[in-house]
Amino acid sequence: MSASETFLDERAARGTSGPILGMVLFVASEAMFFAALFGVYFSLQAQAKVWPPAAIPIPDLPVPIALTVILVSSSVVLQIGLRTVQRAGARKAMVWLGATIVLGAAFLLLQLYDYSQLGFGVKDGVFGSLFYVMTGLHMAHVIGGVVFLSIVLSQALTGQLSLRRHEPVEAAAIYWHFVDVVWIGLFIVFYVLTQTG
């Protein structure tokens, strides 16, 4: 029996752990929350004659594209870290966890810069309000993800994670991939689809 078959047998025997199940339920509830916000957005868009409103400048694409590349890259890096934890242990995955945290922080800083370049604010009608509420809530989730990943990294540094106990990394990966998917939706809705008016 190969090492990967042993790993799969072990995983099947232990079932889904509490931290993983808890994160799946949390992400499902957050997905419903964002789905409701997207529903409000599309309902208002369907009722508007011009969308975004003429007074709202169309956001430029270079910074949001960079934000998307950073966040998608961070998900890839974290997935490599998760595979490393599962196959070689937490010590070897610390670099990947640290890189994900750095990419998450870079995303947050660049998002703040993007806010400073926009020609509209939260008080500039329903489009501006939805833009800042939805992207701001996403930023709050990214901040939460960076904090969560920092806690997981500290667990790896102190030897609390191992080949057999790495559920915190799996839970963090589920959360981080969710944050990534939400951003892709926001990027398409607020940046890509607004280019055509």
**pTM (two decimals):** 0.88
In the predicted model, is pLDDT for residue 196 greater than 80? no
Q: Is residue 11 part of a domain?
A: no
| pLDDT score at 31 | 97
Instruction: Please tell me the total count of domains within the chain.
Output: 1
Q: Which domain holds residue 49?
A: 18-195
Q: For residues 73 and 69, what is the distance between their CA atoms, to the nearest angstrom?
A: 6
- Tell me the three state secondary structure of residue 5: helix
Q: Is residue 29 part of a domain?
A: yes
Q: What is the pLDDT of residues 91-114, one digit of tens each?
A: 888 999 999 999 999 999 999 999
Residues 132-161: what's their mean pLDDT?
A: 95
CATH of the domain at 185: 1.20.120.80
Q: Is residue 1 part of a domain?
A: no
Q: What mean pLDDT, rounded, does the chain reach?
A: 90
| pLDDT score at 5 | 54
| pLDDT score at 22 | 92
| pLDDT score at 2 | 55
Residue by residue, DSSP assigns 98-166 as HHHHHHHHHHHHHHHHHHHH-S--TTSHHHHHHHHHHHHHHHHHHHHHHHHHHHHHHHHHTT---SS--
Q: Is residue 9 part of a domain?
A: no
Q: Say how many Å lie between the first and final Cα of the chain, rounded.
A: 58
Residues 144-165: what's their mean pLDDT?
A: 89
61 burial via Cβ count (<10 Å: 0-12, 13-18, 19+): middle
Q: Is residue 4 part of a domain?
A: no
The answer to whether 130 and 57 have CB atoms below 8 angstroms apart is: no
Q: Is residue 161 part of a domain?
A: yes
